[in-house]
Amino acid sequence: MIATGTDTDVSIVRRRGGSAANVAASAAATGAPVRFIGRVGSDAIGAVLVDELSASGVDVRVQSEGRTATIVVLVDSDGERSMLPDRAAATELDAVSEDALNGVTWLHVPAYSLVVEPLASTTTSAIRRVQHNRGTVSIDVSSVAIIDEFGIERFSEMITDLGPDIAFCNRDESLKLGVESRKGLAGVELTIVKSGAEETVAYCGGKVVATVQPPPLADVRDTTGAGDAFAAGFIVAYMNSDDVVAAIEAAHKSAAQLLMHHSP
């Protein structure tokens, strides 16, 4: 609880972040070739973030201009987090070169990149180019707040129009978009619904095609980035096997490794 108008003692941890960067770093940790496309500020923190992401094995292609984004993440005693984002330069990505998309066989996009301009138009163009080259596209729904701000119907129509191969969402996002009642998201081939310690459910063709229980974890203190690690684990495994259950199991393992790393 924050004491209004006075001091509240807290423990502050600084980490490199951004949903797409988190996915890239986790995927690169498996040895997979990974590229990150984005924008940071032309400032010292932007340079440090690029260097750190590059050091993790990611091929980093960024524009550098403006002010680097920051997100304040408030973590409660149960490990749940609330985010206060200042996306700054991250929303101003205004072009993706042909070279940056050269050889890309899978493009993963957080929905954060689809709801604000000019980033949304830039991202949509990149999706179309990858689809034209017969690459796979996945979208992470990312946030209940952006669904509400964008509008549920408008958000759903956008996803349908983009037609990604795979969509990831958590339980709250799936309820907001009616995933369970529809047995998936319209226009999406495979919808993956994560639900914390509960079963992950996969929908395809209007039916449930897999339910997988994640491994039990004790004393989880911080869930920040777990969904990104999940997506990375799933993508790498699914690229190698096309097996939904095996990919979800790999996703659970990737998320669990991150969660335990964040715990004392």
pLDDT in tens, 21-68: 999 999 999 999 999 999 999 999 999 999 999 999 999 999 999 999
Q: Which domain holds residue 73?
A: 19-262
- H-helix segments, the chain: 19-28, 44-55, 98-101, 119-132, 144-150, 152-162, 171-177, 179-182, 226-241, 244-262
Q: Is 187 exposed, middle or buried (0-12, 13-18, 19+ CB in 10 A)?
A: middle
* CATH code for position 179: 3.40.1190.20
pLDDT of residue 264: 47
Query: Into how many domains does the chain fold?
Result: 1
Q: Each residue of 180-236: pLDDT tens digit? A: 999 999 999 999 999 988 999 999 999 999 999 998 877 767 777 789 999 999 999
Asked, for residue 1, whether it belongs to a domain, the answer is no
Asked, for residue 12, whether it belongs to a domain, the answer is no
The amino acid sitting at 171 is R
Asked, for residue 23, whether it belongs to a domain, the answer is yes
Asked, for residue 10, whether it belongs to a domain, the answer is no
Asked, for residue 5, whether it belongs to a domain, the answer is no
The total number of residues shown for the chain amounts to 264
Asked, for residue 14, whether it belongs to a domain, the answer is no
Asked, for residue 42, whether it belongs to a domain, the answer is yes
- Both structure tokens of 87: 């996306």
| Residue 172 · residue 197 · CB < 8 Å | no
Asked, for residue 3, whether it belongs to a domain, the answer is no
pLDDT of residue 172: 95
User: Strands 200-204, 190-194: parallel, antiparallel or unpaired by DSSP?
Assistant: antiparallel
